[in-house]
Amino acid sequence: MASETLRRSDNMAEKMKVEEKKIGMIETWLRKHRIHYDAATRHPLILSIRDGTIHINSFKTWLAQDYLFVREFVPFVASVLIKASKESDDSADMEVILGGMASLGDEISWFKREANKWGIELSDVVPQQANINYSRLLESLMRSDVEYTVAMTAFWAIEAVYQESFAHCIGEGSKAPPELEETCARWGNEGFGQYCQSLQKIANQRLQKASDDELKKAEVVFLSVLEHEVEFWNMSRGNV
């Protein structure tokens, strides 16, 4: 009886591995952790933008804090690029990451213009605890002992959460305030969606070759990103 149970368990594990290889590890995780992913991409702050009920102070808080976060995000992306140059066996990886880095300069300029429009003095903005915690995660992933696969998974997750969140804000039936339409379109547009798909493809290719240890680390980092995203939205929404 025990041997039969063990055999069934082994068969189930083998079937899971076949399925993971077929659909990709990221899609497997998205199904496995759908509740956590939805919490990050369908947060009440995002839903309030979509239905037009967002308190403008929440948006201003998010804008100011995200400006600070993006400045911390730049060196993280640079570190992913360095890891790619050392560990990737596909030159296309670096091209995709470089494209993302190039857009960050424009993104910072956009934040400055938006802050000026809303009367926010960015030099006076102090990072809140959720922002500090998220930045610490980025710093930890920049260490040389963190595998490219793990860092790439985090990179994809961070970008994907924003893309899916803001794409929801401009989808059919959206009542987003006109003054926030540009913000939603910035990350919710089809071009950014394709970029995120490119990042997901790279991450999936890396995860397919990863050791069990790397897979465990990458999954933990994926969940950590989702947790930090939720806390970041909570922080913004809590300052009304």
Q: Where are the alpha helices (DSSP H) in the chain?
A: 2-23, 25-32, 34-41, 44-50, 56-87, 91-117, 129-141, 148-169, 181-188, 190-209, 212-237
As a residue count, the chain comes to 240
**Other CB atoms closer than 10 Å to residue 144's CB: what's the count?**
8
**Other CB atoms closer than 10 Å to residue 58's CB: what's the count?**
20
Q: Which distant-in-sequence residues (6+ apart) come within 8 Å of 46 by Cβ? A: 165, 166, 168, 169, 233
Distances (CA, A) of 53 to 46, 57, 171, 177: 10, 12, 16, 8
Residues noted as catalytic: 229
Of 183, 156, 158, nearest in space to 72 by CA:
158
CB 225 within 8 A of CB 157: yes
